A = this chain, B = another copy of it.
């Protein structure tokens, strides 16, 4: 007989494990016992992305964290959201709707094993690191497939549980990625435009949507066009950051309580909030700009919350 009680919500303090197997063992674990999931999307173990992944593993393991890696290419992770993700009969086979079918399948435990395995890793993680090369101003398709297939409605969010009420509000997340372009090209006056705008669909529309505390992104600017010593310095800086990553302030998003989250209210900003903001020089966030300049570095640097 084995009884395990884990107060996983209070990892900042202690977790208490009782294991009973003819004798009773009480183990007190320190704050260091945290689970980290690295979702890694590069094809090659010789890449800079692999080095960034390894740096994260080493530093976090040295802190006592349990680190799990989902190496998507090595796993042959399926990217495409299809009816094959669902075991058993479809609700509506003639008009297949992936979201509607998977929310139902999730409730009934009828998702495929590869999705269930990722759900379990996410469930256990206090921190998720997405490590990838930016492809076309976004994640590579294989990682988009992880997002499409693993962040299942019900498991990751619901109409009642999204944004600051999201299911994962006790978890931290960080996008750690390499670019092919320089930082200057992603400034508001650079040829690609502001990186803060580029990151909005991923950081707000995907991660914050599920409630995650989104840490400022770790952007490795053009390591492929940098000399070895610069690449090395980038990894040293990443290791240094990882040492205190758990204490970082997340990015600031507009909290859900500033919106009328009802169909009659249209999920729009409360009139009194709009009024209060009228004299402010900036909008609330990159997407909630309210016709004003977007707050500088809104998706790249932490700033004090709005409420």
Chain A interface (Cβ < 8 Å from any Cβ of B): 43-44, 46-47, 73, 79-83, 94-99, 135-142, 144-145, 147-149, 151, 162-163, 180-182, 184-185, 187-194, 197-198, 200-202, 204-206, 209, 224, 256, 259, 261, 266-269, 274, 283, 285-294, 296
A187 vs B283: C-alpha distance when bound (angstroms): 13
Q: Which 8 pairs, one residue from A and one from B, show the smallest C-beta to C-beta distance?
A: A193-B287, A137-B205, A141-B145, A137-B201, A46-B95, A79-B79, A44-B96, A189-B269
Say how far A196's CB is from chain B's closest CB, in angstroms.
9
Contacts of A73 on B, CB cut-off 8 Å? Answer: 80, 82
A100 vs B198: C-alpha distance when bound (angstroms): 23
A97 vs B267: C-alpha distance when bound (angstroms): 43
When the two chains form the complex, which single residue of B47, B96, B140, B266 contacts A185, counting CB atoms closer than 8 Å? B266
A267 vs B192: C-alpha distance when bound (angstroms): 9
Q: With A185-B267, A188-B289, A268-B189 in contact, is A198–B201 under 8 Å at CB?
A: yes
Decide if B267 touches A184 in the complex (CB within 8 Å). yes
Q: With A44-B94, A94-B46, A141-B148 in contact, is A184–B268 under 8 Å at CB?
A: yes
Q: With A188-B283, A268-B189 in contact, is A137–B206 under 8 Å at CB?
A: yes
Decide if A293 touches B289 in the complex (CB within 8 Å). yes
Say how far A55's CB is from chain B's closest CB, in angstroms.
17
A189 vs B140: C-alpha distance when bound (angstroms): 30
Decide if B293 touches A291 in the complex (CB within 8 Å). yes
Contacts of A290 on B, CB cut-off 8 Å? Answer: 188-189
Decide if A288 touches B138 in the complex (CB within 8 Å). no
Q: With A191-B163, A286-B193 in contact, is A145–B266 under 8 Å at CB?
A: no
Contacts of A43 on B, CB cut-off 8 Å? Answer: 81-83, 96, 98
Decide if B200 touches A193 in the complex (CB within 8 Å). yes
Contacts of A202 on B, CB cut-off 8 Å? Answer: 137
Contacts of A201 on B, CB cut-off 8 Å? Answer: 136-138, 197-198, 201
When the two chains form the complex, which single residue of B151, B162, B200 contacts A197, counting CB atoms closer than 8 Å? B200
* Interface core residue of A81, A193, A204, A224 (most chain B CB under 10 Å): A193
Say how far A45's CB is from chain B's closest CB, in angstroms.
9
Decide if B141 touches A138 in the complex (CB within 8 Å). no
A194 vs B205: C-alpha distance when bound (angstroms): 11
Decide if A191 touches B291 in the complex (CB within 8 Å). no
Say how far A162's CB is from chain B's closest CB, in angstroms.
8
